Amino acid sequence: MKLPWMSRADRRLWKSAKTVADLGELMARWLKGEIASRPGYQPRFGPDEETAHLVPTLAALCRAGYVTTCSQPGFAGTGADGLWWEQRAAVELVVTDPALLHRLLGAVRAAGMLVRVNDHRRGGVQDQPVVVTTRDGEPVTAFGGRIRRADMAIQWPGLDRKLYDQVAHGTYVSIAAPEYGPAGERLWVVLDHLTGLRREDPANPWTTTAPKES
């Protein structure tokens, strides 16, 4: 039985993070199963099984300064309810460094990805959400959309106050493949090239193999 709260040790660990780099490292470790709980997520649970193959990409993003908060793979098929489900490969993340944000937006827009930018600061950009999951053709899930101050408290409880202020005032970016289903998995290749996890192959950049992690 998993207890419905974060352990004291994990709470101390997240509270000890002082920089975005520290936060990204802890998120990468949680993604890899080295930490049982993370802020803003069900305690003592790791990523969903469907995102297991995305862990190297997501961990590399976190360690490169792009702290991921949510993701899903591309999928098309019959669900457990017998209805037809389609998903766009998609990820949400927060960026606090303007140079990193510029690099990210340039890379994903050049690859034709759907991009939404949102922050809760007064006068901040508030793009409309993008549908990423449908059930029998009806929208079920969307990424992006207006962010409120209350959303930040739910997303990042227990952080050091100065670090909380940084991520709460960061830029939240939602990126989705335009295609539904497995074809949209090319999103992860684009992001791997961005972080250096996957090396560029001028002949065919979409089929290069990411190096194994040590």
pLDDT digits (tens, 9 = 90+) for 32-73: 999 999 999 989 898 999 999 999 999 999 999 999 999 999
Q: pLDDT tens digit string along 99-127?
A: 999 999 999 999 999 999 998 776 778 89
Q: For the chain, how long is the longest CA-to-CA vector? A: 51
Indicate whether 208 belongs to any domain.
Answer: no
Find the domain containing 134 and state its range: 8-195
Count the domains in the chain.
1
Indicate whether 3 belongs to any domain.
Answer: no
Closest C-alpha among 115, 117, 114 to residue 94: 117
- 10 Å CB burial of residue 55 (0-12, 13-18, 19+) is middle
Indicate whether 202 belongs to any domain.
Answer: no
129 vs 118: CA distance, rounded Å: 9
Indicate whether 213 belongs to any domain.
Answer: no
Residue 142's Cβ-side half-sphere holds a number of Cα atoms within 13 Å equal to 11
Indicate whether 214 belongs to any domain.
Answer: no
CA distances from 162 to 18, 28, 29, 34, 168 (A): 7, 21, 22, 25, 10
Indicate whether 203 belongs to any domain.
Answer: no
Indicate whether 205 belongs to any domain.
Answer: no
Indicate whether 106 belongs to any domain.
Answer: yes
pTM listed for this prediction: 0.90
Q: Examine the pLDDT at 5 and tell me if it is beyond 70.
A: yes
Confirm if 133 and 85 have CB atoms less than 8 A apart.
yes
Closest C-alpha among 131, 133, 170 to residue 19: 170
